[in-house]
Every structure is written in structure tokens, then in C-alpha cells.
Structure 1
Amino acid sequence: MSSLHCGVDFGTTNSTIGLVQPDGAPVLIPVEGDEVTLPSALFFSFEDQSTHFGRSAVHEYMDGAEGRFMRALKSILGTSLMDETTQIGRERTSFQGLIGRFLGHLRDRLTAHTGQMPEHVVLGRPVFFVDGDAGADRAAQDQLEAAARAVGFSHIEFQFEPVAAALHFERTLEGEALALVVDIGGGTSDFSVLRLSPERRTSTDRRDDILSTAGVHVGGTDFDRQLNIAKVMPQMGRGTETRDGKRQLPLWYFHDMATWHKINQLYRPQVVRDIRGLQREAAEPEKLERFKHLLVHRSGHRLAGQVEKAKIALTDTPETDITLDEPGLSLAIPTTRAEFEAASADLSEKIGAALDEALVAAGVTAEAIETVILTGGGAQVRQVRALVDTRFAHARIAQSDRFGAVGLGLAVDAARRFG
């Protein structure tokens, strides 16, 4: 039996596994029931010590089960948090171990589907895990590789996520095209300018066809964060002054509560004590009472989920409410698309700058791009799509599989490397 090879897209919000069939066509395998995408989330039950992944993890948490919920672990790679441990029930666990546990679950799904233990894998990676720090970026890749090796992958290669998306799309082309891949994921935005054609896709070495890659550590969860900070956290105490009017309360509590991968770090007794102390000083202590509720009832991720839901709704409607309704806390915060776009304008600017950087590095103008390949959930954000439509009004805009294109392309790459 030949060794099994695959492509694994470990994403900030969703993960997939791709395989190439005997006829050469890439497919995503089921990873949760019949679903081919797995939300990148874990839930550790304190009731029966079980571990839940994906939709099951989200369900357990949203259902109010006692335990620890974690999401967006990819965002921690290359940061100082990777050197720390976190409390899971009675044990302290490294973030490296948590990422390994999630990758191990993906490996188990693959083994169950194929009847073989996987040996070779091409892992997707953003163009930059960490902006402006080559050492931290290299450390992030090394950490991800170590986690994959620890769960049984013996031969590990990496491919840029936007390049993988292009390899999948190239299978549909009938002629040559100069293409730009716009991959807006949960945690990063990546861009690649490539030459694509039916003839080129048979080559195993595509380095000369990749004219440029660029990226920035901005993704869908950052848009969530900015909306949360602008509209929700003021209701929790952000911007509140002390009674004497001499200063505002510290901001970091509220910013961390709006950041997916930092929320769990707030669920500590010391933070609850800090907030109680700030209530005694605050001019509006009732707002901090709401924040304390999030801490005591571990509701931060539920709130973040509602903010994400509102962000998605604003794609199709000019206004919506950010709601959270549970015993002890009821919120309904009116939010408009204009407010969301104002709150996240700096993110759109960073994405636009990185996109322009990819063109400059490739030595081409926007007018030279014939096809723009959109992928990633963040590409659905209206102001992001507007950036593309404005710059490339002349080009063919191809909407690729927003959650599956990278995994499918990684499978194509794996077949070329290991087949």
C-alpha cells in the first residue's frame, strides 16, 4: 500500500483536509459527520473530561456546559503566548500541545476515512504569520511543524495559502492567465500574483510562475474585534471615567475581551477582583457589572459569536442588532453598516496596502491582472470586496470555494510533491 499524502488547511476559523482521487481530482474529506469543514474550535468538558472539536465544541459551549472553550489558536503561533501554558481543568497545558491536539483530531478523521495512517502532508501557511518580524514568522512555522510531527506526520512541507488556492483554480483554466489571489482568512490576508495555464499545471516546480506574495496579519476576526470594541465594549465599561473625572479605566481588559484568542486569558479570579475594584472607582459601575457577568459566566465567546453574526448580517443589510440574551444579561445594540465600516477602516487600508505591495513586487499594474481569485470568509466583507472591484473593474472576478479552495489546492500540491 502506498504512503498516504494529503493537504491540511489549519485555519483560524475553519480547517479542511484535501486528498487527490485516482482520476486526479482533489476532494475534501468529511471531518465532522458529512461536513467537509471543521470549525477550528475545542471544548474541554469539566463534567466528563471529554474533548469536543468543531461544531460539537461550539454546541457544548453555547449550550452552557461546564468547561473551557478555545478558538482561533492559529493566531497564537509566533506570539509570546506560545511560551506559556493555560489551565484546562486541573492541568496546565501548553498552546503547542493544544494545537497538536487539534491536528491530531484531523489526522484521526483522515485515518478513519481512508483506513491508512497519514505520513506525508502539505500544510498551508499564510504569507506572514507575524507582520514585520521574520524571526517570529519562522518560529510560527516551526511551531506548527513541530505540532504536526508530534501527532504522526513524518514528512511535512508547506505551501502559501493563496498559492494553494491558485493551484486549485488553475484546473479549470483553458488558457493562460495572469492571476491575483485574494485570500482573506480568519486571521490573515494574503495575496499572490501568478502565471497560470493548463500547460503550467503539470509542472512540479512552480517557483518561476509565482511573481510575488504579500500579506498582512489582518483577517475576519480582526473585523469582529473592531466592531466589538466600537459598539459593544463601551456598554461594558470601555471609555468609562473614574468618579473624580481624572482618568479613564484601563483599556486592555476590554480589548482582550474583544479578541477571540485572548478571551480565555481573562477567566481568572484575579481579573474578577480587578473589575470589582474598578467598579468602586468608576463613574458608571453598572457597565462594569456587565463585564463582570462575562467573566463569571464565561460568556465572552458567546458575545464574540454574536458580534461575528452581526458582521455577517451587515453584508446584506444596512443595519442590525448585536444581541446577547442570557440570565443576568440582555443586550440589543443597534449597529449600522456605516458604523462597522468606520470602525474597521484602518483594517481595509492595511489590506489595500498589502494588495498594492503584491502588484509592485510582481512588477505589474492592476490593469495587467486578468483574473482575480477570491477565497476566504473575510472576502465577503463589503469593504474588502469593494477594494477588489474598484482596483480590478476590468478583470474577471472568480469567487472560489471560500472555505475549501486552500485545502483542495494543498491536496493538488501534495500529489505533485509526494505522488
Structure 2
Amino acid sequence: MDFGTSNSAIGVVRDKAAALAPVEESSTLIPSAVFFDSETKGRVLFGNEAISAYVGQTEGRLMRALKTILGSPLIEEETVIGGRKVALADVIETFVRHLKHKAEAFAGREITSVVHGRPVRFVDGDDKADARAQDMLETIARRVGFRDVAFVYEPIAAAHHYEQTAEREELALIADIGGGTSDFSIVRVGPRQRDRVDRGSDVLANAGVRVGGTDFDTALSLAAVMPNLGLGTQLVEKNLPMPNALYHELATWATINFAYTYKNERALAELVALACEPEKVERLLTLVHHRLGHRLAFAVEDAKITLSAEDRVTILLTFLDANLAAEATRGQLDGAIDARLDRLHATARDCIAVAGLASTAIDTIFLTGGSSRVPAVRAAIARAAPTARLAARSDLLSVALGLTQVAGAMS
């Protein structure tokens, strides 16, 4: 099972062969999203169906980027769904149970054992918090009916997938740049190693950092979109700046729903009257009142994806104001995520050093994870091993395929 921040997949082993289960119609990939429908009591939607219900303005609560909650204090929080408080851990359980049911429908039988992917680090610099995050994920796996639970680092799983096409022995830096975390492993891969059961000696180092695509979304939103909603503007009295906490909350996937409070609406209504540019703050009030935070986040995420291929993009914000749009450039995105790029480069470089290798010893950098498509991300990682060739394959499914291959070897 690859339970991801942005997307998820699950596979089963049939006659020692790995096969991914259809999890959304015929697709083997599903957005990690849950929608609790308030109009039809008790109806829960998943993936693209959940997103479509939200965008179509069905009354309810959308939850996304659930995995990021595991490594944060939010895991202890509750959210209000249909007038009742629900623990965020229970929301994750609902989604994981859905994945399990899809795998069982594909396999035609109950499944009680799982090889679960996990990042190298759920939490930076806090081993106890990191252990608690895995413990919570294991608890959830057992609550949905898995009796045997094993964990494998996600870049190690991706290495197994990459190795199926490796034509020679090589030292590979596996870089899995996901939605919530970025993980690196140095692994010996090749035809000679491929069929060995015990591969522990081939893994030379692992490293991880809590930086991923959702952080890039936050940075781009704050840089390109939130100024149109008043971020960086002034208040009339004493020329004070607009308070910025709510902007950060609404720009971060995991905290959007926490912004929807009557207290925030009252405060924004007062700030409209005090603002030097009231029309911008009025847009922010509209966003909070109509609970359009996820709609904004999806528009920013789409823009980030477009900027992986284009130099410029127009972000339409007509759901807030009929004529409103924001312009974003690749240079603007690169500047907004510059500090995070430095952390990615440093983590990749340190992983090579921990393995006791010179940067020139790396033959291949295998890039996987949706955020590895961002050109500046690829460049930052490539600088850690400048003589290595860059390779990519099935960037959204490599981990799931590799985990299923590991499950086959363990069965």
C-alpha cells in the first residue's frame, strides 16, 4: 500500500507477480481525498469523485493531504463533519479502509497482510514523533483489518521497481519527491542483485526531509495568489499590515478547514472596514464564508503542474471575483521555493556522504514522485551528483509497484 499525500495506490501479489488494483474505475491511482456529503447523510466519496462533489458545490466537507497530518500535532485534532466531531485519525482510517476494500475486490478474497510504504522521515529531527507517526499508521492498518503489517521505506520500494529495467550493475540515488516528504536512498541495483531475497547489504544509506509538493503549493499561493486577497496590504490605522496567519492557514492543504469559523468571518468583516484596499480583503471574506479554500488550492496546484512545462500560467480566480486572475511564472515559483530547494539538495548530498561515497560514485539518479517533475527540484537534486545520469519511470506508481514486488518476495 502506497498511501500518499496527494495520490495513493495499492497492489496485490498473484502467483508471485505484482499487480496494482483498480481503485477508481479502471485507474490504479486515486487522489488521497475524502468528501463527507452533508446533503446525503452518511455518504462518503473518495478520490476524483470527492473532488468533483466539492468543486460542484455539494454541501459537505472535503479532506485532502491526509498523510501530512500523521507527522504533525494535527493528528490529535478533531474536525466537525455533519454537526459532529470526528478525529482526523478516523478520517485517515476511512480512506485506508476504502483502499483495502478495493484491493480485496480485485483479489477476490480477504487480505490480512500488508507491506506499507512510509517516508524515511515523517518528522524532521524528532525520532519520537517519527515513531509515533508510524505507530499511528500501523494502528490504523490494524483497525481496518490487516493483521500482519510490515513497513518499507518508499525510496527502497521505488528502487525495486527501477531495478527491473536496470541493464547493468550501478549505484543509484533514488529520489522520491512526494506531496508531503522527500526521501532518498543509495542502493546497489542491477541484474545480479535482482533475484536475491535479502537486499539489506545493497542499501547503503537513507535520508529524508519533510518537504514536498504541498509545500510548493503553499509557497506559490502566498507569492502569486494571496496578495490579490489582501496579503501584504496595509490597514488605515497606523499603517499596520494585514494579519497574515489566516493566509498561511488557507494556503496549506492540511489546515484549510480550520479557517472556516464564525470568529474568522467576524474578524474579516471588521478588517474590510479598516483596510486600505478593502476590495481585496472582501475577496478573502468571500473565500472563508463560502468555504472555497480547497477550490483555491486546486487552482494553485494546477498552476504549479503547468509551470513544470511552461514558463507562465494564468490562475483563474473567477469563483471569487468575476474578472479576477493571477499571473504566475516559473521564476516566481522557483524563488518562492528556493529555501526548500536548498533543503532537498542538502539532504541528497548528505545521503551520499552517509553512504561513504563521493558524488562522482553515483551512476544514476532515479527520480520518482509527482513533485520530481518540477524543473528546479530536478536541478537541485542533480547538483548533489552532477556526473550521474537522470532517469525517471512511472513517477506516480513506482512506489506502489515496488512495495507490491517486496510483498511478493516476502510471501
Say whether the fold is shared (TM-score over 0.5): yes
Choose 147-156 or 205-214, whichever is displaced more: 205-214
Choose 367-376 or 166-175, whichever is displaced more: 166-175
- Residues 76-106 of structure 1 deviation map (CA, whole Å, 9 limit, x = unaligned): 1031111111100121100110000000000
Choose 305-314 or 393-402, whichever is displaced more: 393-402
Asked if the contact 1:28–1:404 (Cα under 8 Å) also holds between the matched residues in 2, the reply is: no
The normalised TM-score by structure 2 is 0.96
Which amino acid is 2:282 matched to? E
Aligned to 2:139: 146
- Residues 186-222 of structure 1 deviation map (CA, whole Å, 9 limit, x = unaligned): 1111110011133323333322211111111111111
- Residues 159-178 of structure 1 deviation map (CA, whole Å, 9 limit, x = unaligned): 00000000111122243211
Aligned-pair distance for 1:286?
A: 1.6
CA RMSD in angstroms comes to 1.4
1:37 to 6, 13, 29: 29
Aligned to 1:114: 107
Which whole-Å CA distance do the structure 1 matches of 2:206 and 2:313 have between them? 36
Which whole-Å CA distance do the structure 2 matches of 1:405 and 1:301 have between them? 27
Matched, 1:66 2:59: yes
Which structure 2 residues correspond to residues 81-120 of structure 1 after superposition, within 5 A?
81-120=74-113
Choose 391-400 or 52-61, whichever is displaced more: 391-400
Aligned-pair distance for 1:25?
A: 3.5
Aligned-pair distance for 1:416?
A: 1.9
- Residues 352-395 of structure 1 deviation map (CA, whole Å, 9 limit, x = unaligned): 11111111111112210112111000000010112244444432
2:389 to 390, 396, 405: 396
1:126 to 113, 119, 124: 119
2:268 to 244, 251, 275: 275
Aligned to 2:356: 363
Which whole-Å CA distance do the structure 1 matches of 2:263 and 2:317 have between them? 25
Asked if the contact 1:18–1:28 (Cα under 8 Å) also holds between the matched residues in 2, the reply is: yes
Matched, 1:185 2:211: no
Aligned-pair distance for 1:327?
A: 6.6
Aligned to 2:378: 385
Which amino acid is 1:260 matched to? W
Asked if the contact 2:68–2:254 (Cα under 8 Å) also holds between the matched residues in 1, the reply is: yes
Aligned-pair distance for 1:108?
A: 0.8
Which amino acid is 2:404 matched to? A
The normalised TM-score by structure 1 is 0.95
Matched, 1:217 2:206: no
Which whole-Å CA distance do the structure 2 matches of 1:91 and 1:397 have between them? 49
Partner-residue secondary structure (3-state), 1:364: coil
Which amino acid is 1:288 matched to? V
Asked if the contact 1:19–1:408 (Cα under 8 Å) also holds between the matched residues in 2, the reply is: no
Change (3 A) 1:328 1:314: closer
Which runs of no fewer than 5 residues in structure 1 stay unpaired? 1-7
Aligned-pair distance for 1:404?
A: 0.5
Asked if the contact 1:85–1:93 (Cα under 8 Å) also holds between the matched residues in 2, the reply is: yes
Choose 190-199 or 201-210, whichever is displaced more: 201-210
Aligned to 1:264: 257
Asked if the contact 2:236–2:276 (Cα under 8 Å) also holds between the matched residues in 1, the reply is: yes
Which whole-Å CA distance do the structure 2 matches of 1:175 and 1:382 have between them? 27
Choose 352-361 or 166-175, whichever is displaced more: 166-175
Change (3 A) 1:328 1:389: closer
Asked if the contact 1:293–1:329 (Cα under 8 Å) also holds between the matched residues in 2, the reply is: no
Which whole-Å CA distance do the structure 1 matches of 2:232 and 2:238 have between them? 11
- Residues 256-314 of structure 1 deviation map (CA, whole Å, 9 limit, x = unaligned): 11001110111121211121122233222221110111111111111111111111111
Which whole-Å CA distance do the structure 2 matches of 1:411 and 1:56 have between them? 26
Which amino acid is 2:342 matched to? E
- Residues 202-261 of structure 1 deviation map (CA, whole Å, 9 limit, x = unaligned): 333322211111111111111111010011111112122221234222211000110011
Aligned residues: 410
Choose 57-66 or 322-331, whichever is displaced more: 322-331
- Residues 11-48 of structure 1 deviation map (CA, whole Å, 9 limit, x = unaligned): 000000122332x4422111010000010001111110
Which whole-Å CA distance do the structure 1 matches of 2:330 and 2:362 have between them? 30
Which whole-Å CA distance do the structure 2 matches of 1:304 and 1:278 have between them? 23
Which whole-Å CA distance do the structure 2 matches of 1:261 and 1:327 have between them? 21
Which whole-Å CA distance do the structure 1 matches of 2:262 and 2:47 have between them? 28
Aligned-pair distance for 1:319?
A: 1.1
2:38 to 46, 49, 54: 46
Which whole-Å CA distance do the structure 1 matches of 2:274 and 2:217 have between them? 30
Which whole-Å CA distance do the structure 1 matches of 2:370 and 2:208 have between them? 16
1:28 to 11, 20, 34: 20
Which whole-Å CA distance do the structure 1 matches of 2:104 and 2:12 have between them? 12
Matched, 1:165 2:158: yes
Which whole-Å CA distance do the structure 1 matches of 2:74 and 2:309 have between them? 36
Choose 167-176 or 312-321, whichever is displaced more: 167-176
- Residues 381-413 of structure 1 deviation map (CA, whole Å, 9 limit, x = unaligned): 010112244444432322121110000111111
Change (3 A) 1:367 1:263: same
Which whole-Å CA distance do the structure 2 matches of 1:388 and 1:92 have between them? 42
Which whole-Å CA distance do the structure 1 matches of 2:182 and 2:320 have between them? 38
Identity of matched residues, %: 43
Which whole-Å CA distance do the structure 2 matches of 1:256 and 1:346 have between them? 20
Which whole-Å CA distance do the structure 2 matches of 1:314 and 1:181 have between them? 24
Aligned to 1:307: 300
Which runs of no fewer than 5 residues in structure 2 stay unpaired? none
Aligned to 2:331: 338
Which amino acid is 2:22 matched to? P
Aligned-pair distance for 1:132?
A: 1.2
- Residues 312-362 of structure 1 deviation map (CA, whole Å, 9 limit, x = unaligned): 111222111111222755421111111111111111111111111111111
